[in-house]
Structure 1
């Protein structure tokens, strides 16, 4: 190993140690919890005054001018240069960009503060502060003490609260949120979506016993329709567990062996989960001190030969890409109502699958997909040109991958973990991405792992090949193509063929063209609804010539969304207009073309 490699490895270890998080608690929805959602007071701090002193040194914990400390004057002579007031409030969960006009483009730090009382339900409990997501860096303080820091704008995290720190009255919780983009973060500086800042998902205080079930997995074995397997992980001393599925009259006791709780048992009477029959079972797992419940569907999924098999049978995926945004409100999606809108629109289009791009969406989305029978591609924001040569960046990507999989590994709807999108081919990049694929398979061997790959558009006359070296390691060979929008006109599809050097299922993870709703012209007029309609007619005709291993498509995308890269003053005005729906929820002409094709593909 070279000195440089050793240095980079040590740097990565130092970073992961310095910023280590408490182990993520999964299945948080079934826990005794106190919501801290609601109105939070705030201070805008673009110069980081509350974090650094005038020499730009991090302030002492007891510094009265640190914004994590109380700002009330002890008397009229005391100098105070910061304060929280009901005059300045933001709603949590929610991005700050849509809540105040001055924050539309804001990138920087905002301090959030919430005072609250707290009733402890049981003596001797442990308490954790849980965040569904904060974009991007969160520094968390309770009653003047720092609980920890987290990076990653779309995945959950939690910190344990020392029992002595949590009071019955007048707790003072402060979160410094910084959504600035940096070259060595995930995602990096350059993205094609709006950088919504803030505490964008739920905040809870979770009450748990001294030894509790931190995480568990219960799934069918990859190639078995009747045998379940999994594990239970404890925070504290492991104890034997009992697994119950009341509807199947199953009650299985599992002992502790070598400090672990692992199990395997038959599920001979289970109805399998599928888009046509999204059966979920109540599951109860009980230890000597704890109990968790969940609703779980049982199904198998794998890439075998030229096909994707769901419950052992080939499936064609009629999909759509979705951004975690509610366009009519120009904001991040976070609520049950938001999930119902987005997935409801996908169902109306005729989809049996969604690609949740380009980051993990709110947990409500995958839980609702479970109950609706919608297959899910879930992705981390390794996007375009991050620093693939950095061991530190790799550790950050692995952390987000781990948090995504830990949160959702019991969701039947999730069939693909994606490790990135449109990453440029190079040996360094391929090694980086291969590391992520390996990590995903270590965490979960029951699902497919993929990424949106690069296309070789110069393979030969009228032939485009997907020969990205990363294709060797993925289960599903997925690629993005925009023939007729970024390359030529849609009629070029008439003579174009596609192929891959890999004997694996073949999938189009993006394709699309922009159209401003209500703007009409002939089919040659860019940004008109007629151009987008023509684009999809030609694309769908071209798909009839796809090779035998073609297994589905997720066009780009469900609804128009905000992007600072899209600056045509007449047709875009800060919006990517490739949606089937516009920013007001109206269907464009292309919607009906795609829906009719999907209807023809139903089993």
Structure 2
């Protein structure tokens, strides 16, 4: 039998910043809890990466001579050397995977000292040298070539961060067990590695189902291996809904090992995923797997269990553990609850000495060795987990130069084949691809054709819809165009990253607040510098809420956060609906499962608290989805509403004779039948009818919410909601009674304003107000001479600088931007801040710069990015010379949607009012 001594607990600890100590002269003056990253255990070391020493003493009163002793580590980041009683017993490189060292020769009866030296190299950003011939700091190059994963974005992890134990086992013992299952035949094959001393010995395997033996087999060890196959009668398959687990007891002589496993298959063929032979639609979330207090290690197995329970409530069936090898608890709980896991080799960053040339450096040989070693150790550790179904080698070309380097593409293809050789039971992604500065970084050999895309909703809805349409055609641009890719042609299409932000409540952060009422990680941020990085730093967010005048828009920061979470839900819903229109797309991965420090795009916040979307999200994140057409957000009262509905079916089997119904409290509340005989097979998208009704005569801007659902046999199979803005006819009429000139011959503003009841004149000298889309020299002189200008523009002007959002932080397609309207400033429309799909026809494509807190009183609508940073105006007023300007970048000149006419009428009335007098004067 085996004996195991847990060595977790208090260890002696010493920081060696100069790397000056040797194993013989370390001066220990401190202690540390193991397991834990030293950045988590000691606040003063949060920013420290370098060398540190650990020491543990144990007593072994009577050391037997006929046993083997192994010192085992769950994970040590990053490199370590281990001594026992002054004897070096081994080294290991790689911060994520387990290793064990034979210490039999170094142990002795009585007191024993274990000494561990850990080296880690902090690596922050992938800066290239300023001069092409500049030497790279060896420390920096070392840091950039090792596997750090997302530590480069969030928080460093160094030291012994997983458990340590000493095990004693017989000389003839088992070294590893890999279990292969076949759900169709019920056969289970055990490939067992043993010590050489086990050669010729008999090996027994028993399979237990809930403690009862249900199958057994035996055989002889040949050399140091043995393969046994046994048969399960009517095997209980492991699935998402029934995660059945068996226990295998493997015995060789006096040594016994137990392993859990599940009987299941997971395949990619014919453009689909198959779990146990049945098609599966992947509903995943990217999980950074970081934790507030412990960084890399979950606080407990129970903690993981609760977060995965919430994941299933959200309708998720897959976790993409992002460029990180998950803690063992992660996979254990996924096995128990029935969640698929997609794990990835941690990323690294190569140093490009010639960043502007095609003479790039390939992946260094030392990095290649570490990638291979990490892969091998991942496979050995995780092979028997039924939840694990996919592995990724590279994410987004981080650490490789796939577009520019044939050598890197060739190496990546070799790594794909190596991964399949080590574990043919899992799918392999070569490079989880995205757009890069030189075009899409690409696939060369992959079991999945996946790609990443980010788009701000509703502003970039049309771009996203167009992109998805093309991706659904399995485009050639996802593969290497250099005649070295090897697509099969039937790889499943997966949108493996997309997402939107929703700012979290600040209440949970108070539990670990340190300075100025904020947690330490509020001082962190992403993007590597520049103006965009301002938006990724949470620190001071509560102050900025008031300083930017956002307390005029929301009652509190908490109200604002909840508004952004509502916006996040609506955005994700719209994106999922678009993807579900195309049967060829068989999965997606939302970025992300939880917030990660400053990154606020989680379905849960960083503390694993549900966000606003939690209760509703499973309506859209599910097998069967009803998809309403969201091309319009606003309608006139009395207008006939026509909204096509589509039905995407991924639940098992087929249905026939299902009915689609809808109801709305604002439309009387009665249940109406939309269609009566919907028939669909699994994997199909079919028409489900069209909502046709006449909108009511409302006397004020009204939010109409329509619930639509699919019902079969008295059971709801799918449900969704459609929200729209209904505006009274009076909203398109202005009350202004002043002469108005339109200086925009290229637009139809004259026709629209005339229909609103405006008194139009043809000459500026006869006008009190001018409406224009650009400022001409003549108009500029007129304004400065005392005229009033309503500037409806999306280009720069002579007054305040106006810039396009595209390509700027205000584009918001990664670090989110939000647009708001000051309550009461646009009375003709129904306002929900921040603005969502009700305003999709008029969202601004430009922002007005030069907005500072002292100008709050003159800003009627604005925008901020991320953690309430980078304020910009989208509607503001100011004085120029003797004249006055009301300036907006809402897309009111091109759009003729009801919301556009109503907002235009509001602006005309505002500038025509005798009270219109901006406080701000431009010099």
2:574 to 518, 525, 538: 538
- The residue number in structure 1 matching 2:90 is 148
Contact 2:53 2:115 in 1 (8 A): yes
Contact 2:416 2:446 in 1 (8 A): yes
1:425 to 398, 402, 405: 402
Query: Equivalents in 2 of 1:299, 1:289: separation in Å?
Result: 31
- The residue number in structure 1 matching 2:587 is 552
SS at match of 1:517: coil
Greater strand proportion: 2
Cα drift, residue 526 of structure 1: 13
Query: Equivalents in 1 of 2:562, 2:257: separation in Å?
Result: 54
CA deviation profile, 1:254-297 (whole Å, cap 9, x unmatched): 23457642233433321111111111112111223422112211
* Residues 1:588 and 2:595 aligned together: no
2:421 to 420, 439, 442: 442
- The residue number in structure 2 matching 1:157 is 99
Cα RMSD after superposing both structures: 3.1
The structure whose Rg is larger is 2
**Structure 2 unaligned regions, length at least 5:** 123-142, 352-360, 477-488, 506-544, 625-649, 652-923
SS at match of 2:243: coil
Query: Equivalents in 2 of 1:495, 1:510: separation in Å?
Result: 17
SS at match of 1:346: helix
**Structure 1 unaligned regions, length at least 5:** 1-29, 51-65, 72-81, 460-464, 563-574
* Residues 1:506 and 2:467 aligned together: no
- The residue number in structure 2 matching 1:484 is 456
* Residues 1:528 and 2:472 aligned together: no
2:205 to 237, 240, 243: 243
Aligned length: 522
- The residue number in structure 2 matching 1:217 is 178
Cα drift, residue 525 of structure 1: 11
- The residue number in structure 2 matching 1:401 is 375
- The residue number in structure 2 matching 1:232 is 192
Cα drift, residue 201 of structure 1: 0.4
- The residue number in structure 2 matching 1:10 is none
CA distance 1:120–1:211, change in 2 (3 Å): farther
SS at match of 2:146: coil
* Residues 1:208 and 2:231 aligned together: no
- The residue number in structure 2 matching 1:291 is 256
CA distance 1:95–1:341, change in 2 (3 Å): farther
Cα drift, residue 308 of structure 1: 1.0
Contact 2:215 2:230 in 1 (8 A): no
Query: Equivalents in 1 of 2:362, 2:17: separation in Å?
Result: 29
Cα drift, residue 160 of structure 1: 0.6
- The residue number in structure 2 matching 1:515 is 502
- The residue number in structure 2 matching 1:126 is 68
Cα drift, residue 335 of structure 1: 3.2
Contact 1:34 1:205 in 2 (8 A): yes
CA deviation profile, 1:368-405 (whole Å, cap 9, x unmatched): 21111111112111356587432332111000000001
Contact 2:214 2:232 in 1 (8 A): no
Name the TM-score, length of structure 2 as normaliser.
Answer: 0.53
- The residue number in structure 2 matching 1:38 is 9
Query: Equivalents in 2 of 1:583, 1:445: separation in Å?
Result: 35
Query: Equivalents in 2 of 1:328, 1:347: separation in Å?
Result: 24
Query: Equivalents in 1 of 2:347, 2:192: separation in Å?
Result: 30
CA deviation profile, 1:446-492 (whole Å, cap 9, x unmatched): 12112453246999xxxxx989232xx2112222221238x973453
- The residue number in structure 1 matching 2:385 is 411
- The residue number in structure 1 matching 2:323 is 358
Alignment of 1:363-402 (within 5 A): 363-383=328-348, 388-402=362-376
SS at match of 2:165: strand
CA distance 1:189–1:246, change in 2 (3 Å): closer
Cα drift, residue 584 of structure 1: 3.3
Cα drift, residue 334 of structure 1: 5.7
CA deviation profile, 1:72-120 (whole Å, cap 9, x unmatched): xxxxxxxxxx5224xx221111111122221111111111111222356
Cα drift, residue 320 of structure 1: 1.5
Contact 1:383 1:422 in 2 (8 A): no
Query: Equivalents in 1 of 2:616, 2:447: separation in Å?
Result: 30
CA distance 1:100–1:412, change in 2 (3 Å): same
Query: Equivalents in 1 of 2:185, 2:578: separation in Å?
Result: 36
- The residue number in structure 2 matching 1:100 is 42
CA deviation profile, 1:132-186 (whole Å, cap 9, x unmatched): 00111111111212111111111111111034x2234332212112221412222
* Residues 1:453 and 2:395 aligned together: no
Contact 1:190 1:385 in 2 (8 A): no
Query: Equivalents in 2 of 1:457, 1:104: separation in Å?
Result: 32
- The residue number in structure 1 matching 2:285 is 320
* Residues 1:495 and 2:466 aligned together: yes
Query: Equivalents in 1 of 2:571, 2:348: separation in Å?
Result: 26
Contact 2:503 2:561 in 1 (8 A): no
Alignment of 1:58-207 (within 5 A): 66=22, 68-69=23-24, 82-85=26-29, 88-118=30-60, 123-163=65-105, 165-181=106-122, 182-187=143-148, 191-207=152-168
**Residue range with higher mean Cα deviation, 120-129 or 198-207:** 120-129
SS at match of 2:77: coil
- The residue number in structure 2 matching 1:20 is none
- The residue number in structure 1 matching 2:535 is none
SS at match of 2:414: helix
Query: Equivalents in 1 of 2:2, 2:602: separation in Å?
Result: 37
- The residue number in structure 2 matching 1:22 is none
Q: Which of the pair has the greater relative contact order for Cα pairs under 8 Å at 6+ separation?
A: 1
Name the TM-score, length of structure 1 as normaliser.
Answer: 0.79
Contact 2:281 2:623 in 1 (8 A): no
Query: Equivalents in 1 of 2:563, 2:95: separation in Å?
Result: 32
Contact 2:172 2:194 in 1 (8 A): yes
SS at match of 1:528: helix
Query: Equivalents in 2 of 1:112, 1:467: separation in Å?
Result: 42
Query: Equivalents in 2 of 1:371, 1:336: separation in Å?
Result: 12
CA distance 1:599–1:328, change in 2 (3 Å): farther
Query: Equivalents in 2 of 1:356, 1:119: separation in Å?
Result: 43
